Amino acid sequence: MNESSESGWRSSVPSRADLMAAFATRRRRLGITAGPALIWLALLLAAPLTFMVTVSFVSVDQSYQIVWEPTTANYAALFAGDTPLLQRAFVKSLLLSYAIAAVTTILCLVLAFPLAYLLARKGGRTFKVVIFLVLLPFFTMYLVRAYSWYLMFGPSGVINATLLRIGIVNSPIGLFNYGVSAIIVGLTHAYFPYMLLTLYASLDGLDYSLVEAARDLGASRSETLRDVILPLTLPGIISGSLFVFVPALGAFVTPEFLGQGKVLMIGQLIKDRISSLYAVGYGSAASMFIVVSIVIAFVVAFRYVSIEDLGGV
């Protein structure tokens, strides 16, 4: 490299002064730092969501081509039928999905809170061992974990077969058959770490001198939990509940494996209508109810906690 080319190369490299000038104004700093994330969200979230909303207001002709004419027929089709409202396919699937997601969230909260409290108080090696054991199954594919629960349930599954072999029961127990209970167990196992880690982050930042002060002043353990610990960890509880409820509401793989056709959650209903009838308008309209439900959940959460608190700290 000769002297002229080397000097040209050096002049093309931005100097420290040039970099500082690029960040001179607040607008430039915001654009450089937040710009890539905003572009990513626009491409992978805003654009697909906009397309889904648009498709929910159009129809599909007999040749499976989208007719770009505004219509509300897709939303009307969700509630169409001669049976009572609560017995119609979409309403039943939606209410069942709400119920399963709510029970899954409550189970995750009840199971994770004591463990998160123990980890926050103990820390050290105990924390590392427990977290390793909790996260160990998640080093495998989600499909493999769902299939493992599939082998556990059913009339000939591991649970019923074991009970029959040791003579505790004479016939398979329906509780361990495929259905709602199996789906709830599978979803609880799938989303338990989200609740645990979120609660741990909240409990780890708790000032435990307040807990000790409440005990010294005569408060019982239940009173200390109700009046001190729960109010101070409310942001973590709400955040963890959102992290569980939202994906459980739209779950598909776990209900597909563990429901075995006995349970039709909203994700399966949408998939069946699109794959069998190419009812993309119907599926988009049904999906909008899930989106609206999630938005409402976040709005309610923000009434009690700020966006910073949802981080669980």
At residue 56, the 3 state secondary structure works out as: coil
Residue 13: HSE in the Cβ half-sphere, 13 Å Cα cutoff: 8
pLDDT at 9 (0 to 100) = 45
What pTM, to 2 d.p., does this model score? 0.83
Closest CA to 312 of 202, 206, 196, 200: 202
- Of the candidates 273, 285, 289, 270, the residue with the CA atom closest to the CA atom of residue 98: 289
Q: What is the pLDDT of residue 248?
A: 94
Q: How confident is the model at residue 286 (pLDDT cuts 50, 70, 90)?
A: very high
Give the chain's mean pLDDT: 84
User: For 125-166, how does the pLDDT look when each residue is reduced to its tens digit (9 = 90+)?
Assistant: 877 888 888 888 778 888 888 888 888 888 888 888 888 888
CATH code matching the domain that covers 74-311, chosen among 3.40.50.300, 3.30.470.20, 2.60.40.420, 1.10.3720.10:
1.10.3720.10
For 170, phi then psi, to 5°, come to: -100, -15
Q: Please, is 258 exposed, middle or buried when counting C-beta atoms within 10 Å of its C-beta (0-12, 13-18, 19+)?
A: buried
Q: Which of 238 and 122 is assigned the larger pLDDT?
A: 238
pLDDT at 2 over 60: no
pLDDT at 239 over 60: yes
Show the tokens assigned to 207.
């000032």
CATH 1.10.3720.10 spans which residues of the chain?
A: 74-311
* CA pseudo-torsion sign 47, 52, 55, 56: negative
Average pLDDT over residues 207-218: 86
CA-wise closest residue to 115 among 248, 249, 240: 240
Mean pLDDT across 25-43: 74
